[in-house]
């Protein structure tokens, strides 16, 4: 049985490195799971769920990675989360814990000559993302580590891609969205209209900051903005280090996304190729 309150804790009032469109889709889907869709509808805030990744299902078979011609191919797809508990993606999510384990095994695997991160993701949790990116960055030089996008690497997914030796994007794929977002849902008016009044009894002036049963105060907003700014600067500096760019150049992108060749021009990717062509290019370099 899926623990939806646990998912809500991971998504609301915490910094996320995810594209805004995906964040809205996830928020709407969780609202439906919590039985809040009627409240959203009552306030004219229904959001279509057509793009939701799907129901949470059973984990996929836990084979660490595929090895093709001596190259370990590690999939990085869907929404990225800190702890998924499986080595491979399932139900539209990939865990940083699984990626870290797969990378460690591939680097130690004598049959593996190179590693490819097969990425198509809008991003996800900030928690755990930059520690994983640092691990990938430190592993450079042990074996070639390429990021081959099978469409796009945005936000947290781009943080991971940027840590690789080389990033190859297809012409219809995208890179970037180097930024952080935090969602606060104010349900106070909707709850009141439904005849539900919530009283928060707390010790500590800031203990109830971010509660969805009351409007967000100016003080709480300022504190959350400070946290988001700190995470955003960490993101910018990480990408700048990984890609050999100036911090100013990365910051000036202002979390813009770049399609295909535009990502190469800005410095966020190295080449534009179809994924199969990129894989053949890696094999040619390996000899």
Cα pseudo-dihedral 68, 71, 72, 77, rounded to 10: -80
Most confident of 82-86, 171-175, 192-196, 211-215: 171-175
In angstroms, how far is CA 174 from the centroid of its own chain?
Answer: 14
- Do residues 192 and 180 make contact, with C-beta atoms less than 8 angstroms apart? no
The yes-or-no answer on residue 207 being catalytic is yes
DSSP assignment, residue 216? P
The yes-or-no answer on residue 237 being catalytic is no
Residue 268 and residue 39: Cα distance in Å, rounded? 41
* Of the listed ranges 12-26, 75-89, 164-178, the one predicted with least confidence: 12-26
Residue 145 and residue 282: Cα distance in Å, rounded? 10
Domains, the chain, ranges and CATH?
Answer: 1-287 (3.90.226.10)
Sequence-distant (6+) residues with CB within 8 A of 238 are: 130, 133, 134, 159, 162, 163
pTM of the model: 0.80
Q: Which of 121, 152, 155, 177 is catalytic?
A: 155
Cβ count near 141 (within 10 Å): 8
208 against 81, higher pLDDT: 81
Q: What is the 3-state secondary structure (H, E, C) of 39-64?
A: HHHHCCCCCCCCCCCCCCCCCCCCCC
List, in sequence order, every residue forming a beta bridge with 93; answer none if it has no partner: 79, 90
Q: What is the pLDDT of residues 210-245, one digit of tens each?
A: 888 888 889 989 999 999 999 999 999 999 999 999
The reported pLDDT for the residue numbered 205 is 86
Q: Which helix (H) or strand (E) holds 118?
A: strand 114-125
Task: List the Cα angle 32/33/38 in 5-degree steps.
Answer: 35
Q: Which of 83, 207, 226, 246 is catalytic?
A: 207
């Amino acid at each position: 049985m899926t623990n939806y309150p646990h998912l809500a804790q991971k998504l609301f009032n915490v910094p996320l490195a995810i594209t805004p469109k995906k964040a809205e889709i996830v928020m709407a889907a969780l609202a439906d799971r919590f039985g809040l869709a009627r409240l959203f509808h009552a306030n004219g805030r229904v959001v279509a769920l057509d793009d939701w990744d799907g129901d949470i299902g059973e984990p996929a078979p836990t084979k660490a990675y595929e090895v093709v011609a001596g190259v370990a191919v590690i999939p990085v797809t869907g929404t990225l989360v800190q702890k998924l508990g499986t080595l491979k993606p399932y139900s539209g999510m990939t865990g940083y814990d699984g990626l870290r384990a797969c990378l460690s095994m591939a680097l130690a695997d004598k049959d593996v000559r190179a590693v490819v991160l097969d990425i198509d993701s809008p991003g996800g949790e900030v928690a755990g993302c930059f520690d994983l990116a640092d691990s990938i960055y430190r592993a450079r030089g042990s074996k070639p580590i390429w990021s081959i996008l099978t469409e796009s690497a945005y936000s947290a997914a781009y943080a991971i891609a940027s840590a690789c030796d080389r990033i190859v994007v297809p012409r219809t794929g995208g890179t970037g969205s180097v930024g952080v977002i935090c969602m606060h849902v104010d349900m106070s008016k909707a709850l009141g209209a439904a005849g539900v009044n919530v009283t928060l009894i707390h010790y500590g002036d800031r203990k109830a900051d971010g509660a969805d049963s009351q409007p967000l105060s100016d003080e709480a907003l300022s504190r959350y903005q400070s946290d988001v700014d700190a995470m955003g600067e960490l993101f910018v500096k990480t990408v700048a280090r990984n890609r050999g760019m100036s911090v100013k150049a990365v910051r000036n992108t202002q979390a813009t996304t770049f399609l295909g060749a535009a990502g190469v021009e800005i410095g966020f990717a190295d080449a534009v190729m179809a994924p199969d062509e990129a894989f053949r290019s890696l094999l040619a370099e390996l000899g």
